[in-house]
Chains A and B, each alone.
Chain A
Amino acid sequence: MMVWLQVLALVPMATGVVVLLSALRNRDVFRNH
């Protein structure tokens, strides 16, 4: 149970990192031309 709760907390944290990397890769879409 303890392990599952740790996984539950880590899923959003990992999502945050993935989103950050994706934004870095796609940084050009943020620029107003």
Chain B
Amino acid sequence: MSSIDVSVLVGYLLLVMGALFFVRPARSMNDFALGGRSFPSLIAFATLAATAIGPGFTTGLMGKAAGGGLIWVVVFCFFSLQMLITGLFLAPRLRNFPEAVTLGDIMGARYGRVAQGLTGVITVLFSAGIVGAIAKVSGTFIHTLLGIDATLAIVVSTCVVILYSAFGGIKADVLTDVLQFAILAIGIPLILLLELPRLPADFELSTALALSFNAGGMDMAAFAGLAFSFFFGEFLLPPYAARAMSARSPGVARRAFILAAAFSAIWFLCMGIIGVLGRIILPDVPADALFMALVQALLPPGVLGLVVAALTAIIASSQDSFLNSAAVALTRDIMRRPTGAGLLVTKGAGILVGLVGMLIGLYVPSIVEALLLAYSVWAPTIVVPLVAALVFRRVAPIAGLAAMVGGGVTTLGWTALGEPMGVPGLMAGMAASLLAFCLGSILSPNPGASPGTPAAEEEGA
């Protein structure tokens, strides 16, 4: 990297650090987890989008589209569709539980303490896994681009994220997310602008994009399975829910999700086209190494620094949000600390989850895979009972527990059996969860209205 690139990168990192002095440490659980519920639409949208857009939604999609064509953009857009539906129907309803700080609180209010504890355990496990997995990816990127030792890069970058996330709480996360959103939204699409002049002169752009639409020959069943996974896989993950709960009003939460849905769809199209065009410009590079090759081949001095800064932004903005959710879930849902209690335990929990995630990312990648099993059981355990808790006035606690256990066990078992008949574990688990919920509701003698029953559909505008 040239000295201009290094100054751009260092300037960006100093700006983020400087901004953190403005935040000051969080002093109460409400400040730490929800930031006093003060964020307006555009800020809530930016933090939501920055959290969702990790390496998988950027370089991951570029590689998939380079190998398999633009059909991957359609697959990824099922995530956008999920954000849209969540925004329209569910995110505002999270505000019907004014005492809730975590999703576990909502599950606990409707289905009892065991449900809250289970939600907390799953949240903490997959957050540690995600922090570790992202740390591993970031180390490789930084090593390739800057030539710094990968271990050193992982330790330094993750420790910075752990520190600001543990001390500043969600306000520090959201402020850095906003800066990170701006730099990633400006830096990464620049690659597309720089690709266009490099295409061969006689090149038929629209024909090439249409011809490579399904270059990998994905069949209907594979497409359906992937679409299902992208729709449900990240359904109301704790960091997304935290952003709905910390928005200024239910209406603001709804707008933030709708904007994030629209932005993510545009983003996916952009990444997909970067991948397909990148394959035409650099035909000899393997699909999964395409991003690095493009960055090194296309970017002039100065811009390279900006793109590297954008890459650190993509990584840190996802890590910090998961760390915040894990810290709060560990303290509230598992250790049952009251919201009024001191923050020492919460901050310690954040540091612990971050350090454990980082260390296993560095030294035992096989455990990262084990932890990411918790990520794969998120939707099958939580989605059915959570949606029911948000939508129905009366739910039976036993139905919620049955859905969580039935969905989780089925997913793990189905995956262990090698996904019989080609049905994804997620799909089998969701079906089992729904079935268990219905059975539990029918068999339960009298589903009583629980303390956290949503108020009438007062959602604000």
Interface positions of A (Cβ within 8 A of B): 1-2, 5-6, 8-13, 15-20, 22-23, 26-27, 29-33
List residues of chain B with CB within 8 A of the CB of A1: 205-206
Measured between alpha carbons, how far is A8 from B193 in the docked complex, in Å? 9
- B314 at the A/B interface (Cβ < 8 Å)? no
B1-59 interface (Cβ within 8 A of A) = 19, 22-27, 31, 35-36, 38-40, 42-43, 45-46
Interface string of B229-271 (1 = CB under 8 A from A): 0000000000000000000000000000000000100110110
Task: A29 to B31: give the CA distance in the assembly, Å.
Answer: 11
Q: Is the pair A30, B23 in contact by a Cβ cutoff of 8 Å?
A: yes
A31 and B196 contacting across the interface, CB-CB below 8 Å = no
Are A32 and B171 in contact (CB-based, < 8 A)?
A: yes
**Which residues of chain B have C-beta atoms less than 8 A from A26's C-beta?**
40, 43
Residues in A whose Cβ lies below 8 Å from that of B192:
5, 8-9
Say yes or no: B266 contacts A12, CB within 8 Å: yes
Closest to B24 in A: A32
Q: Is the CB of B190 within 8 A of A9?
A: yes
- B181 near A19 with CB under 8 A, answer yes
Other A-B pairs, 14, CB within 8 Å; known A9-B270, A22-B42:
A2-B196, A6-B193, A13-B189, A16-B182, A17-B182, A19-B45, A20-B178, A20-B182, A22-B40, A23-B42, A29-B39, A32-B24, A32-B35, A32-B171
Q: Which residues of B have CB within 8 Å of A32?
A: 23-27, 31, 35, 168-169, 171
Q: How far is the CA of A29 from the CA of B22 in the complex (A)?
A: 11
14 contacts between A and B (CB under 8 A): A9-B189, A9-B193, A12-B189, A12-B267, A15-B185, A16-B183, A19-B182, A22-B40, A23-B179, A29-B39, A29-B171, A30-B174, A32-B24, A32-B169
- With contacts A1-B205, A31-B24, A32-B169 known, is A12 near B263, CB below 8 A? yes
Return chain B residues, CB-CB under 8 Å to A30. Answer: 19, 22-23, 171, 174-175
Q: How many residues of B contact A (CB 8 A)?
A: 44
B269: chain A residues at CB < 8 Å are 8
- Asked whether B23 lies within 8 Å of A31 as measured between CB atoms, the reply is yes
CA distance A10 to B196 in the complex (A): 13
Chain A residues whose CB sits within 8 angstroms of the CB of B38 once the complex forms: 29
One of A10, A19, A22, A27 near B189 (C-beta < 8 A): A10
Quick check: A12 and B175 within 8 Å, CB to CB? no
The CA of A26 and the CA of B39, in the complex, are separated in Å by 9
- What is the minimal beta-carbon distance from A15 to any residue of chain B, in angstroms? 5
Distance A33 CA – B185 CA, assembled complex (angstroms): 30
Q: Which residues in B have their C-beta under 8 angstroms from that of A17?
A: 182, 186
Given contacts A2-B205, A8-B192, A16-B181, contact A29 B40 (CB under 8 A): yes
**In this complex, which of B23, B27, B43 has the most chain A Cβ atoms within 10 angstroms of its Cβ?**
B43
Is A12 a contact of B196 with CB atoms below 8 Å? Answer: no
Is A12 within 8 A of B185, CB to CB?
Answer: yes
Task: Judge whether B323 is part of the interface by a CB distance below 8 angstroms.
Answer: no
B304 at the binding interface (Cβ < 8 Å):
no
Closest Cβ–Cβ distance, residue A24 to chain B (whole Å): 10
B273 within 8 A of A: yes
A4–B58 Cα distance when bound, in Å, is 20
Q: Within the complex, what minimum Cβ distance (angstroms) separates B302 from chain A?
A: 16
Rounded to whole angstroms, the CA-CA distance of A13 and B183 in the bound complex is: 9
CA distance A6 to B22 in the complex (A): 36
Q: Which residue of B lies closest to A22 (CB)?
A: B42
A32, B418: Cα distance in complex, Å: 49
B169 and A8 form a contact (CB under 8 A): no
Which of B35, B186, B267 has the largest number of chain A CB atoms within 10 A? B186
